[in-house]
């Protein structure tokens, strides 16, 4: 089955967690809005149209045959089950999902470092608040989240976050480290010695043949100033 | 099987979504930290201890036999499957979960109306930012989220949000309307005529025998100024 991924065409954003899973699965998919014709209108129709049985609230969403699945973690739950990117047994399946929901919480906090007041306003319109929020984020939250995942990784033997093979949890932690490095290079340079296991995991993921090929392809959108992970020099101070 | 729910003993918070599901399921459970001995230390031990195979990042979490399940939406996924609080077939199961993840996004935004900068600071230390964020929240976000759920409800016939019987999605929307009414009474009084279906759903849920008995019991913690839904007169203006 060929999938259709619907997400904004110019950013990694939340769609990237899905792209990484699809790439690692070797799945066939269209990144719909990125097609040569730029079909963002088609995506908006699905969001706002009356014809959809299960209308999603926001991108990303994935068309999988008759299913239209929204919410990043929910899409990963589906892909995990269908492409062996998560344990099959209930305990492992729930545990992997729990970890990805925790990553989703972190992603919200990353977004809110530059948009603490409103997504409808520009960064410049909430810059003062962004500075305050980012200060707290870098001081407390990064260490709490990544320290937690480092602990989980070490408890599990250090190779994978869940079980004995690669899961979408490893891919998602990889993506978070990529993003945090882009957004807060100075902070991460200092901080990373506290999470040696995660850094090594990141490097191993980057070397997986399918991920390596994907990262080198033009399917991987470069980080930029419109996504969730953004670099503002003054916030990384 | 008797469950153990671990959550802060003095607030509804995210734990309330789990409590409502357990109550509607007629499940036996201990609200551990609320026991006469107030076992918050026991909860913290589970969070920080090395003995736990799958340590949760934060409350709530649910002990279900050998499983220790964290993340509110993940707990509901589990309870939905085991207590017929969600469809069994894949399409309906994913759809219900997708909707609850969207509710979880709303809950984060509600929390951030009074804590837009940091959970580690008091409201009074971020009051100015809270006013700005709440203004945006009430102007744009409440209408977007609740308008979406009203649309989903009407598309599904108006009785239930998912399928043809009560699910944890209905319970969770009920709880959100309860909470928003507590936090923003003036705003909600004006706004509610735009979501007649959800208001009627709320009232039907409140009259379900098990929910009605629960709401009248002392197991239901009253809303207060320490939870996610808080009333600050100046924010509701």
Q: Do A132 and B140 touch (CB under 8 A)?
A: no
For chain B, the average pLDDT equals 95
Q: Give the pLDDT mean for A53-73.
A: 96
Q: Inform me whether the pLDDT recorded for A33 exceeds 90.
A: no
The model's pLDDT over A94-113, given as tens digits with 9 standing for 90+, comes to 999 999 999 999 999 999 99
Evaluate the omega torsion of the peptide bond into residue B63 and state whether it is cis, within 30 degrees of 0.
no
Which candidate in B71, B126, B134 is best for mutational testing of the A interface (most A CBs within 10 A)?
B71
Taken in order A76, A82, A85, A86, the sign of the CA dihedral is positive
For A101, the closest of B50, B55, B74 (CB atoms) is: B74
Between A232 and B33, the higher pLDDT residue: A232
Q: Inform me whether the pLDDT recorded for A230 exceeds 70.
A: yes
In angstroms, what CA-CA distances link B67 with A151, B28, B52, B55, B92?
19, 16, 10, 11, 24
What is the reported pLDDT for B50? Answer: 75
Which residues in chain B are contacts of A69 at CB distance < 8 A?
94, 98
Q: B39-48, B55-64, B140-149, B187-196 — which is least confidently predicted?
A: B39-48
What is the reported pLDDT for A77? Answer: 98
Q: Are A216 and A165 in contact (CB under 8 A)?
A: no
What is the reported pLDDT for B35? Answer: 66
Res. B34 pLDDT band, cuts 50 70 90 = confident
Q: Give the pLDDT mean for B138-155.
A: 97
Q: Helix A168-183 and helix A90-114: axis angle, to 10°?
A: 10
The model's pLDDT over B191-210, given as tens digits with 9 standing for 90+, comes to 999 999 999 999 999 999 99
Q: Which of B235, B150, B137 is nearest to B185 (CA)?
A: B235
Q: Inform me whether the pLDDT recorded for A50 exceeds 90.
A: no
Res. B37 pLDDT band, cuts 50 70 90 = low
For chain A, the average pLDDT equals 95
Q: How far apart are CA A59 and CA A15, in angstroms?
A: 8
Q: Whole-structure pTM over 0.90, yes or no?
A: yes
CATH says A3-82 is which class?
Answer: alpha beta
The CATH code for residues A90-216 is 1.20.1050.10
Q: Inform me whether the pLDDT recorded for B40 exceeds 80.
A: no
Closest CA of chain A from B212, distance in Å: 30
Helical ranges in B184-234 per DSSP H: 185-191, 196-207, 209-216
Four-CA torsion A55, A8, A86, B61, nearest 10 degrees: -70
Q: Inform me whether the pLDDT recorded for A179 exceeds 60.
A: yes
Closest CA of chain A from B133, distance in Å: 5
Q: How far apart are CA B212 and CA B142, in angstroms?
A: 26
Q: Give the pLDDT mean for B106-130.
A: 97
- HSE, CB side, 13 Å, CA atoms: give it for residue B150: 17
Q: Give the pLDDT mean for A182-196.
A: 98
Q: Give the pLDDT mean for B127-141.
A: 97
- CA-based max dimension of chain A: 51
ipTM beyond 0.90?
yes
What is the reported pLDDT for A237? Answer: 78
Q: Domain coordinates of chain B in residue numbers?
A: 3-82, 90-208
What is the reported pLDDT for B167? Answer: 98
Per DSSP, the three-state class of A228 is coil
Q: How far apart are CA A78 and CA A65, in angstroms?
A: 13
What is the reported pLDDT for A35? Answer: 66
Q: Do B98 and A155 touch (CB under 8 A)?
A: no
CATH says B90-208 is which class?
Answer: mainly alpha
Cβ–Cβ pairs < 8 A, chains A and B: 109
For B95, the closest of A54, A116, A129 (CB atoms) is: A54
Per DSSP, the three-state class of A18 is helix
Taken in order B158, A77, A58, B187, the sign of the CA dihedral is positive
**CATH topology agreement for domains B3-82 and B90-208:** no
Q: Inform me whether the pLDDT recorded for A165 exceeds 60.
A: yes
Q: How far apart are CA B136 and CA A135, in angstroms?
A: 23
In angstroms, what CA-CA distances link B177 with B103, B151, B185, B235?
11, 16, 11, 17
The model's pLDDT over A109-137, given as tens digits with 9 standing for 90+, comes to 999 999 999 999 999 999 999 999 999 99
What is the reported pLDDT for B52? Answer: 86
Res. A176 pLDDT band, cuts 50 70 90 = very high
Q: Are A94 and A163 in contact (CB under 8 A)?
A: no
H or E element that contains B75: helix B72-82
């Amino acid at each position: 089955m060929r999938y259709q991924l619907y997400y904004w065409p110019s950013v990694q954003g939340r769609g990237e967690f899905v792209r990484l899973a699809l790439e690692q699965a070797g799945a066939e998919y269209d990144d719909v809005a990125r097609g040569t014709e730029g079909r963002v209108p088609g995506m908006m129709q699905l969001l706002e149209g009356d014809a959809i049985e299960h209308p999603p609230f926001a991108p990303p969403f994935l068309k999988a045959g008759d299913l239209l699945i929204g919410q990043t973690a929910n899409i990963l739950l589906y892909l995990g089950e269908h492409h062996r990117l998560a344990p099959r047994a209930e305990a492992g399946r729930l545990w992997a999902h729990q970890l990805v929901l925790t990553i989703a919480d972190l992603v919200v906090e990353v977004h809110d470092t530059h948009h603490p007041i409103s997504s409808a306003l520009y960064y410049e319109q909430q810059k003062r608040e962004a500075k305050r929020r980012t200060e707290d984020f870098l001081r407390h939250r990064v260490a709490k989240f990544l320290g937690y995942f480092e602990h989980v990784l070490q408890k599990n033997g250090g190779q994978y976050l869940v079980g004995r093979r690669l899961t979408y949890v490893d891919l998602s932690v990889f993506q978070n480290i990529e993003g945090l490095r882009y957004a807060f290079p100075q902070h991460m340079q200092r901080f990373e010695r506290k999470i040696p296991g995660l850094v090594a995991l990141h490097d191993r993921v980057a070397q997986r043949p399918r991920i390596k090929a994907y990262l080198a392809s033009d399917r991987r959108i470069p980080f930029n100033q419109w996504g969730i992970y953004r670099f503002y020099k003054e916030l990384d101070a």
